Structure 1
């Protein structure tokens, strides 16, 4: 589903991605973890061209993301992206927030789009909140609306950039439960996260990044019990103490 080949990216003189190679098969869930400044968010943002790249190539379902000829809006319609901050429209209800992209981008009739929005919101535990505005919701509820909004486009792939980092601890579980449900349904997902327990439980592979490079890719059991690199051992020693 995703093929990252020799991708490099710099901001000015600082190289933040260094010749990255990664393959994510269909219906797999990959977690990208690592210390702050490792390049995790930059990498996931290059996967739908929110960030440009200076070298290499990224293919999503065989389509080159950064090729000038690629219709990026069409590609993005197939790739759901959930940000750290929820980016909801404050003047729209939850149903309207979820239905707006299918109506405007895919020209789905309003009634049909809003019906689907209600189904998605209900499946994420927000059946009581159809008429609520974002300002009336908790952070965890707003993030679940953001997930429903991404799903409304029927994406082939979901990308999550630290979806729980802006949440209070008690809100985190409800968002992780929503992502768990998606994993169980067979959705292909890449999740940048610092929730180690979640990464260990739900992901097929752990991608450990440090200093702009992928240092290690391994199944969770192997990575957490027997990391191969000193950098990963050092990272785990720090994060698993808490």
Structure 2
């Protein structure tokens, strides 16, 4: 579903992604983990062309993301992206935030788009909040609205860039539960996360990054119990024992 081949990215002379190669099959969930500055967010943002790349290629369902002739808006309508900060429109209700893109981008009928938005919000435990504005919602509720907004476009792929890092600890569970439920539907997902227990429980593969490179890719049980590299062992010793 997602193919990343020999991708490199530079900021000036600084190489932030170094010859990244990764194949993500359909209906699989991959977690990108690693220390700060490893390149995780840059990589996930480059998957839907929020970041440019200088070398290599990324394809989603056969479409070359960074090709000059790719319709980037059409591509992004197939790729849901959930940010650390919720990026909701403050002047729109939860319902309007979720239904606006299907109406404006996909030209869906307003009534149908709003029905679907209500169903999505209800499925994420927000049925009572459809008329609320973002300022009236907790961080966890806002992030679930953001997830509903991404799902409203019927994406083939969902990308999450540290979706819980801006949340208070008690809010984290409700967002992770929402992603868990999404996983059960067979959605292809890539998640940048610091939540190790969540990554271990939900993902098919752990992609460990450091210094702009993929250091190790392994199933969760293997990675968390017996990683191959010293770099991964060092990282796990720090994050699992703090």
Partner of 1:54: 54
What secondary structure sits across from 1:38 in the alignment?
coil
Partner of 1:177: 177
Partner of 1:103: 103
Aligned-partner Cα distance in 2 for 1:13–1:241: 36
What secondary structure sits across from 2:107 in the alignment?
coil
Q: 1:14: Cα distance to partner?
A: 1.1
Q: 1:53: Cα distance to partner?
A: 0.2
Aligned-partner Cα distance in 1 for 2:180–2:105: 28
What secondary structure sits across from 1:231 in the alignment?
helix
Partner of 1:159: 159
What secondary structure sits across from 2:38 in the alignment?
coil
- What is the TM-score when the length of structure 2 is the normalising length? 1.00
Aligned-partner Cα distance in 2 for 1:166–1:103: 29
Output one character per residue of 1:76-98: Cα deviation in whole Å (capped at 9) or x when no partner.
Answer: 00000000000000000000000
Q: 1:13: Cα distance to partner?
A: 1.6
The answer to whether 1:187 aligns with 2:197 is no
1:208-219 equivalent positions in 2, closer than 5 A: 208-219=208-219
What secondary structure sits across from 2:37 in the alignment?
coil
The answer to whether 1:239 aligns with 2:239 is yes
Output one character per residue of 1:166-197: Cα deviation in whole Å (capped at 9) or x when no partner.
Answer: 00000000000000000011000000000000
The answer to whether 1:222 aligns with 2:218 is no
Aligned-partner Cα distance in 2 for 1:130–1:82: 19
Partner of 1:116: 116
Q: Unaligned stretches of 5+ in structure 1?
A: none
Partner of 2:73: 73
Partner of 2:28: 28
Q: Unaligned stretches of 5+ in structure 2?
A: none
Aligned-partner Cα distance in 1 for 2:130–2:38: 39
Partner of 1:39: 39
Q: 1:51: Cα distance to partner?
A: 0.2
After TM superposition, what 4+ stretches of structure 1 lie above 4 angstroms from structure 2?
A: none
What secondary structure sits across from 2:92 in the alignment?
coil
Aligned residues: 242
Aligned-partner Cα distance in 1 for 2:141–2:228: 38
Aligned-partner Cα distance in 1 for 2:12–2:143: 32
Output one character per residue of 1:100-133: Cα deviation in whole Å (capped at 9) or x when no partner.
Answer: 0000000001111011000000000000001100
Q: 1:66: Cα distance to partner?
A: 0.1
- Over the residues paired in the alignment, what is the CA RMSD in angstroms? 0.3
Aligned-partner Cα distance in 1 for 2:130–2:145: 10
